[in-house]
Amino acid sequence: MAEITVPLPDVGECYGHAWRQMLRVFLELLIITVVLLLLSMPLAGFETADAEGFAPFLFLIFLITLAYLVLFYRPLEYGVAYASLRAARGESVEISDMFSFFPNYPNAVLAHILV
């Protein structure tokens, strides 16, 4: 019985495959990344909230930021990871894939809390 040898991919081959997969759905992935960036901007509000004049509202700003992070932004990141996975698998990617966590919303929130 003849032995079957499987060639090992080299680094250039791996990166080349990754670039080909990404370029196939580049516009969709770019829009998903820009939307994620825009939706991360409210999280920066807590970092600047320690300035003068915000001291009485600091705890309230902290709670709102924490709720936004846990209840929306982190589950949204799961949706972005799902869209990236679809791109890596060579499947079609739609911008709505980043919001695919909504049918499993309780599981997405619980997964983030457990992580």
CA triplet 42, 39, 77: central angle to 5 degrees?
Answer: 115
In terms of phi and psi (left: phi > 0; alpha: psi -120 to 50; beta: otherwise), the region of 90 is left
Q: What is the structure's pLDDT at 33?
A: 94
Q: Which long-range contacts (CB under 8 A, 24 or more apart) does 97-105 make?
A: 97/32, 98/32, 98/35, 98/36, 101/75, 101/76, 105/75
Q: Domain residues for 61? A: 11-114
What's the pTM? 0.76
Q: What is the structure's pLDDT at 75?
A: 92
For residue 3, the Cα-to-chain-centroid distance in whole angstroms is 43
On whether residue 3 sits in a domain, the answer given is: no
Q: What is the structure's pLDDT at 6?
A: 66
Predicted confidence pLDDT, tens digits, the chain (115 residues): 667 776 677 888 888 888 888 999 999 999 999 999 999 988 876 666 555 566 677 778 788 888 999 999 999 999 999 999 999 888 999 999 999 888 889 998 998 889 8
On whether residue 6 sits in a domain, the answer given is: no
On whether residue 2 sits in a domain, the answer given is: no
Domain count of the chain?
1
3-state secondary structure of 28: helix
